[in-house]
Amino acid sequence: MASAYGGPGKYIQRAGEISRLATHLVPLGRRVLVVIDGFLHDSLAPSLRQNLEAGGLVATVVRFGGECCAAEIERVTGLARREQSEILVGVGGGKTADTVKLAATAVDARIVIVPTIASTDAPCSAVAVRYSAEGVYEQSMQLPRNPDLVVVDTAIVTKAPVRFLVAGIGDALSTWFEARSNLESRSNNYVGGGFPATAAGIAIARACHEVLMRDGLKAKIAAEKGLCTTAVENVIEANTLLSSIGFENCGCSAAHGIHDGLTVLAETHGLLHGEKVAFGVLCLLMLENREQEEVEAMIRFCRSVGLPTTLADLGLTENLRESAERVAQGALAEGECTFATPVVLSVPLVTDAILALDAFSSQLAA
């Protein structure tokens, strides 16, 4: 018997917590490099630098380049070395978080992530995804350690466009279904060199799904009105913490594999990660030939919160078989997580599953 569990050193979620960041960083070191997403750099950088310096920290604050690609990873790593940074802080979305995680690992600095949107499960994990400068998926990398600290300021997260919260729901929706794939295929998780999932990891993946089904639509509607209800808080936690622990401790499968395949199509580059993953979830259910009631329920749930359920929703309206085949080829590239799906896989089968899901969803009544 063997099993392993991984997660962040500490997770804190509270409105206004970014103003208390210095208090959390002092025990970790003194020299801090903060990388802030470009959309928020100008509004957050001055006050954040002032707060950190008032807390006795030596802070360097820079703007994120926009893509977690080799050049940006090298740039941030170089800055960290030059500034002799003991702590790297990523403030922004998933690509900012992954860039900081990779750079901090390279210079052996502490990792702190401050998500400003609840759109992905990147903040808490020891996994980072690298893309090309053009946004095409290149590689998913397992890091030797998780972030030391994740600080979620819900006052900031709830001010972001609701589309980001919904995309996070789409990403988190994959957590239990891909965990189930890995359990059935007896695949290892992403902790260390890979181990069977612990009961704790499986329970968290289930809990993630339960929160989304119970609170997802309520949270979306409240967030559209600028309200931070208990449902919104619960979904932020599901998107950020539960989904992250769930996928890392149980594994991904074809939902994320199909997402990776979709990145090769230029038409999908305007979509958010979680939007593509949500479509991948529906394709995964079709690929695994799950019960019709389950497929229908998830299509209806995705529709209710505004996630894509057809190829047309992804901006794909022509040459559908050709596009689906390109996605399938990308999803079955060497090393892809798609192979954790408990099905004998082939490009024709994945292609047909994508097209079958599109046809089924298109004909399903509202």
The residues annotated as belonging to the active site are 171, 256, 259, 273
Answer whether 52's CB lies under 8 Å from 30's CB: no
What do you get for the CA distance between the two ends of the chain, in Å? 47
Answer whether 248's CB lies under 8 Å from 191's CB: yes
Closest CA to 113 of 69, 157, 167: 157
Characterize the bridge pairing of strands 127-131 and 87-92: unpaired
The H or E element spanning position 130 is strand 127-131
CA 117 to chain centre: 11
Cα–Cα distance for residue pair 252/216, rounded to 1 Å: 21
Backbone CA torsion sign across 310, 265, 261, 245: negative
Kindly state the tokens that stand for 91.
């403030």
Q: Which residue's structure tokens are 């449902």?
A: 231
Kindly state the tokens that stand for 269.
């580059």
Answer whether 183's CB lies under 8 Å from 250's CB: yes
Characterize the bridge pairing of strands 11-13 and 58-63: unpaired
Closest CA to 12 of 115, 86, 101: 115
